Amino acid sequence: MRHFDFTPLHRSTIGFDRLFSMLDAAGNEAPSYPPYNIERTGENAYRITMAVAGFSDAELSVEAKEHVLTIKGEKAEESADREILYRGIASRTFERRFQIAEYVRVDGASLENGLLHVDLVRELPEAMKPRKIEITSGGTKQIESTAH
C-alpha cells in the first residue's frame, strides 16, 4: 500500500488545491488508468497530460462543467476480420474527473504522439487582483492642479 504526501505541492500550485486534497483523501482507491501528469507551465497556466496511446481524437472527449473537468475515452469496436493473439496495449473505456478551482478555464486540448494535452488558464477578475495602495505622509493629502 502506497501513500503519497501532496503537502509540498500545495505550496507551489494555484488552482488545484482541491484536486490535491481529493487525491490525498482517495489514497490508493484512485483509478490508475490512464496515467497522467499535472504541470505548471506559467504563473497562471497549467497543463494536464494524459497517456492515451491507441485512442484517436474522435474517441476522446474533454468537457468542463461547474468546476469539474471530465476526460473520457471510448474505443470504437474492432473489426471482426482481425484476431488479437496477445493484448498488451490497454484500450478500455475510461472516464477521469478533475476538480478545477474557480476562475480556471480550459484553454484548449491537443493530441500528440499518444498524449492528450489539456491546457488550463487561471484568470482572476480585476476586483480580485492585487492592487498597489499609495501611502501618504502626514495628515494632509497633496492635490495636484492642472490649471496654470
Any domain includes 105: yes
Q: Decide which of 28 and 54 is more confident.
A: 54
pLDDT tens string 45-91: 999 999 998 888 899 999 999 888 999 999 877 777 888 888 787 77
**pLDDT value at position 59?**
92
C-alpha cell at 21: 486534497
Any domain includes 69: yes
Q: How many CB atoms lie within 10 A of CB 127?
A: 6
pLDDT tens string 91-142: 789 999 988 888 888 999 999 999 999 999 988 777 777 778 888 887 655 5
Any domain includes 28: yes
C-alpha cell at 86: 496477445
Q: How many CB atoms lie within 10 A of CB 73?
A: 21
| Residues 94, 99, 104, 107, Cα dihedral to 10° | 0
Instruction: Show the domain range for 101.
Output: 7-126
CA distance 117 to 50: 7
Nearest to 69 by CA among 83, 48, 55: 48
Stretch 3-18: mean pLDDT: 55
**pLDDT value at position 74?**
92
Phi-psi region of 17 (alpha: psi -120 to 50; beta: other; left: phi over 0): alpha
Residues in the chain: 148
CA distance 129 to 125: 7
**pLDDT value at position 12?**
47
* Whole-structure pTM value: 0.63
What CATH code is carried by the domain that includes residue 69? 2.60.40.790
Any domain includes 17: yes
Task: Please provide the average confidence, as pLDDT, over all residues in the chain.
Answer: 78
